[in-house]
Copies of this chain bind each other. A is one copy, B any other.
Amino acid sequence: MKASIIIIGDEILLGKVTDTNSGAIARVLDPAGWQIGDIVTVGDEREEIAEAVERALKRSQLVITTGGLGPTKDDITKGVLTDIFGGELCMNHEVTENIRRVFALRGLTLNPLTEAQALVPSSCRVIQNRYGTAPIMWFEKDGKVLVSMPGVPFETEGMLPEVAAAISERFTPDSEVSHASVMVTGITESALATRLEGYEASLPTGLHLAYLPQPGLIHLRIDGIGAKGAGVSERVAEAHRRLLDELGDLAILDHEASAAQLVIEVMKRRGLTVATAESCTGGNIAHRLTMVPGSSEVYVGSIVSYANDVKINVLGVKAEDIEREGAVSREVVEQMAQGALRVTGADCAVATSGIAGPGGGSAEKPIGTVWMAWATATGTTSRVFKFPGNRSRVIDRASTEALLGLLKLT
């Protein structure tokens, strides 16, 4: 069965805010057997919202909208939905109670604008929002369902399990969807595609191989769809086994993982602890590793030595080497990695020192120059990279290479 997602908000159309709600919704609907046909983002304009909703209701059995439910004047979704589904805006006492509860928890007092959030179309069923004040509204018309959710990602993500359960109760999808992933390194996307031509041609109907390249990694995903109970997940599992055989050592993991998750999984398996010493990556490697639940079993911490004094005083880098070679140099980054091992007591460490821009570049060391060193008790290796792109890209790419380099330590 088909589903459509509509994201409402000028801030997203203008590129001021990145939409993450559609992804969160998709990650819940897809495994439940829904095919997401499209995601449409429209601004806070009555006609645009109305047109997007009418169109989605034609295309799909299920429509989920997010946004346009706040207490301020630029939020008009409720009026549009009342026009489409009928009824009139009425004060809902349970919603009022919920708003009072949320405000009390936050230690705030109510005002008339917030109270207006309790006005809901009489044509909808309310699912109480346990994470905020905007009510979740469930509409039905001609066998189609529209669920209106809040724009705040935290509220929508928090309420998704409850909304998904209500959807499962209402619909019994007639198709089944299954996915399996392999993470690959050490080969380009096109060389991999050439190598897998025969494998792809051999895939049974309903199965499809998708390439999702990331810097230094390729995520291969087998997507399967078929009638419910017709063995789709078994066929995907079989294709997954064959893919792993076909890839041999190129496959580093048999499920989806980010570079940081790979490091945590592989190091946990090897029983090793990790530390970082970061200059140009400024804590991003530490952040990525510590976003992985359970990372504390592997990761002990980082010295983010942004200033040279911190490199010298905390990591023990020699001031004369910074003076002579510059902070972005093999000598300095190797001392940083060794210093991180020493002060944290970890089994392995990676250090970064580079020029992320927009300032600081020179002819000899242009923006994007990043020195990295990986150290263990038995030795230190180092390498210089030249990354293209802006500050954020240089930091991101350098962090990924630093992580992937840890996987090569033995």
Contacts and interface: CB of A to CB of B under 8 A. Distances in A.
Interface of A: 10-20, 22-27, 30, 36-43, 48, 52, 70-74, 108, 111-114, 131, 152, 154, 157-158, 188-191, 193-194, 200, 208-213, 219, 221, 223, 256, 273, 276, 278, 281-287, 289-291, 293-296, 299-307, 309-310, 313-314, 343-345, 357-359, 388-393, 395
Contacts of A22: 15, 41
A197 B19 CA distance: 28
Contacts of A389: 131, 154, 157-158
A304 B291 contact: no
A190 to B, nearest CB: 4
A283 B288 CA distance: 8
A41 B12 CA distance: 13
Contact of A154 (B70, B305, B393): B393
Contact of A114 (B43, B190, B208): B190
A113 B194 contact: yes
B293 A303 contact: no
A290 B345 CA distance: 26
A290 B283 contact: yes
A223 B212 CA distance: 37
Contacts of A293: 357-359, 391
Contacts of A36: 13-14, 43
A309 B344 contact: yes
Contacts of A304: 276, 283, 286, 290, 301-304
11 contacts: A14-B27, A16-B27, A74-B208, A111-B190, A113-B194, A154-B389, A290-B306, A300-B306, A300-B309, A303-B314, A310-B344
B314 A344 contact: yes
Given A14-B30, A37-B43, A283-B304, 5 more contacts: A10-B223, A16-B27, A17-B23, A18-B18, A282-B291
A161 to B, nearest CB: 12
A177 to B, nearest CB: 9
A390 B161 CA distance: 13
A74 B306 CA distance: 43
A339 to B, nearest CB: 11
Nearest to A179: B14
Contacts of A189: 70-72
A48 B41 contact: no
Contacts of A73: 193, 200, 209
A338 to B, nearest CB: 15
B39 A13 contact: yes
A296 to B, nearest CB: 6
Given A40-B40, A290-B282, A307 B313 contact: no
Given A299-B306, A304-B286, A393-B154, A23 B27 contact: no
A285 B11 CA distance: 25
A74 B210 contact: yes
A11 to B, nearest CB: 5
A393 B24 CA distance: 14
A287 B284 contact: yes
A388 to B, nearest CB: 7
A292 to B, nearest CB: 9
A201 B71 CA distance: 16
Contacts of A285: 283
A369 to B, nearest CB: 16
